[in-house]
């Protein structure tokens, strides 16, 4: 069963989103405040696949909710709803573990497509291949979807996991930014390609000894990134 938590304080917008999600087969839970969202996720988080989370909320903000949710789960998909003027909030949300963001005002069809893409990514974690990827100090189990470095598990969000899987399948290869974007977010992604750079920053903080002087994920200026042991 597909379950999604919609966190939006404007009731009319929340009802519109919930109605359209229900039409596409989701079981929808709604929350109007950050506190309510955290309470619902604490109680039912294991059954929730995706969270649609507005940044501007009464009480604790969507960014704070994102942070608390990520402390409870690295696998739930999180899409932030942001205003066009909230550029720094977009980056902050991604750095806190959000998988994607949608800018208001948005079309319902775009929002549904983005939710579906995140859901499919989360659903992939339930099964799949049984093989393991090895490269240098890294080992990735494609069934359990766990990355280890020198035997120690590295906790990743779904997006971070997919980027690392792409790197491990293409070691010592320069991947251009558009190639990464299309592989992870899909051919019809509407958002800013800056989302790649933010996720690379997050990954470096998790796998590099010195994130400011990366050894494993290096930048190829004007092109993209190379992964090496």
Q: Is the pLDDT of residue 87 over 80?
A: no
Q: 125, 148, 179: which is the final residue of a domain?
A: 125
134 plus 111 within the same structural domain: no
Q: 68, 98, 125: which is the final residue of a domain?
A: 125
Give the Å distances, CA to CA, from 147 to 32, 158, 163: 35, 12, 12
Q: What is the DSSP letter of 10?
A: -
Q: 125, 158, 180: which is the final residue of a domain?
A: 125
88 plus 44 within the same structural domain: yes
- pTM for this model (two decimals): 0.75
pLDDT value, residue 125: 62
55 plus 27 within the same structural domain: yes
Write out 33-65 in H/E/C secondary structure. CHHHHHHHHHHHHHHCCEEEEECCCCCCCHHHH
Question: Best-predicted range by mean pLDDT among 48-52, 91-95, 98-102, 156-160?
Answer: 48-52
146 plus 112 within the same structural domain: no
Q: What is the pLDDT of residues 185-206, one digit of tens each?
A: 887 776 777 889 999 999 999 9
**Residue 205: CATH number of its domain:** 1.10.10.10
Helical pair 177-185 and 158-169, crossing angle rounded to 10 deg: 130
119 plus 138 within the same structural domain: no
pLDDT value, residue 128: 45
The domain tally of the chain equals: 2
Q: What is the pLDDT of residues 162-188, one digit of tens each?
A: 999 999 999 999 999 989 998 888 877
118 plus 14 within the same structural domain: yes
133 plus 100 within the same structural domain: no
90 plus 110 within the same structural domain: yes
76 plus 133 within the same structural domain: no
120 plus 133 within the same structural domain: no
Q: Domain containing 167: what range?
A: 128-227
HSE, CB side, 13 Å, CA atoms: give it for residue 214: 18
9 plus 120 within the same structural domain: yes
153 plus 168 within the same structural domain: yes
Mean pLDDT of 150-168: 92
**Residue 81: CATH number of its domain:** 3.40.50.2300
Contact predicate 79/101, CB 8 Å: yes
């Amino acid at each position: 069963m597909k379950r999604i938590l919609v966190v939006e304080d404007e009731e009319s917008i929340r009802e519109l989103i919930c109605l359209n999600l229900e039409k596409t087969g989701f079981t929808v839970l709604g929350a109007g405040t950050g506190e309510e969202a955290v309470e619902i996720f604490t109680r039912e988080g294991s059954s929730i696949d995706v969270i649609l989370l507005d940044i501007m909320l009464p009480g604790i903000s969507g960014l704070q909710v994102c942070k608390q949710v990520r402390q409870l789960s690295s696998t739930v998909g999180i899409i932030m709803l942001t205003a066009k003027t909230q550029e720094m909030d977009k980056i902050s949300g991604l750095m806190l573990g959000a998988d994607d963001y949608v800018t208001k005002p948005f079309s319902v069809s775009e929002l549904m497509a983005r939710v579906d893409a995140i859901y499919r990514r989360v659903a992939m974690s339930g099964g799949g291949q049984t093989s393991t990827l090895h490269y240098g100090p890294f080992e990735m189990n494609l069934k359990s979807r766990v990355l280890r470095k020198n035997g120690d598990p590295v906790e990743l969000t779904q997006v971070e996991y997919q980027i690392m899987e792409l790197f491990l399948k293409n070691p010592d290869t320069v991947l251009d930014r558009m190639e990464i974007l299309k592989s992870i977010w899909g051919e019809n992604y509407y958002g800013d390609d800056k989302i790649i750079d933010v996720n690379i920053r997050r990954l470096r903080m998790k796998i590099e000894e010195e994130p400011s002087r990366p050894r494993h994920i290096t930048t190829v200026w004007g092109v993209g990134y190379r992964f090496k042991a």
